[in-house]
Amino acid sequence: MEKADKRCAIVRATLDLVAEQGFHGAPMALVAERAGVAAGTIYRYFESKDVLINEVFLYLEERFFAAVMEHYPEGAPVRERFLHIGGVLVRYCIGAPLEFRFLEQFHNSPYGVAHCREKFFNKDNRDLITELFGEALDSGIVKDLPLPVLFGLAFGPLLDICRDHILHFIELDDELISRCVEACWDAIRR
């Protein structure tokens, strides 16, 4: 196995185990076993378990960003751009339930304290959305509320319904997703 592959296997094993069992269910020995490497080997790639967990988080951010940015309608109106992002967000999350569960675990945990809520979206990504919301605020299309509040109104419910879907409390389809994203738009639009 090549070095990159090995590192990737460790990340993947950590992600899966944490998503499925929580941090409590992901001891290093088990991570190593799942990744097909020796326990000591992990420490050649990651300084400590804390570092490993955080790097998994960064890895997820990266993938998440790439997904959400695909086919972003750069020049379209604010509303259309928001609906795009919301839809892609939900579809991505329910299509990657383990990644989603990991992020949920991460947020409420000692590991997540360092990352504030908005870090859920990585820097570049946030800039993009921040820019979108900034433009929306300037043009008076959305309510004049602090950015974190707009984020909460816009994306909080979307993450909630992803969770509900993954836990089988509801069954999302394209039509329902659209109506949910539109409801979020109703919350923020003036």
What is the footprint of a second copy within residues 114-143 (CB under 8 A)? 116-118, 143
What track of x and - describes contact with DNA for positions 44 through 83 (by CB under 7 A)? xx--xxx---------------------------------
User: 137 is written with which tokens?
Assistant: 């605020």
Instruction: Give the Å distances, CA to CA, from 26 to 2, 55, 75, 118.
Output: 24, 15, 44, 26
Q: How far apart are CA 91 and CA 105, in angstroms?
A: 20
What's the CA gap between 86 and 106, in Å, rounded?
22
Does 188 interact with a second copy (rule: CB under 8 A)?
A: yes
25 binds a second copy (CB under 8 A): yes
Of the candidate spans 33-41, 63-71, 78-86, 103-111, the one that interacts with a second copy by CB under 8 A turns out to be 103-111
Stretch that binds a second copy, among 53-61, 90-98, 128-136, 168-176 (CB under 8 A): 168-176
Residues 19 and 96: their CA atoms lie apart, in Å, by 11
Question: According to CB under 7 A, which one of 21, 43, 153, 172 is a site residue for DNA?
Answer: 43
3-42 residues in contact with DNA (CB under 7 A) are: 3, 6, 24, 26-29, 37-41
Question: Two tokens at 162?
Answer: 């992803």
Residue 143's contacts (CB-CB under 8 Å, 6 or more residues apart) are: 150, 188, 189, 190
Summarize as ranges the residues that interact with DNA (CB under 7 A): 1, 3, 6, 24, 26-29, 37-41, 43-45, 48-50
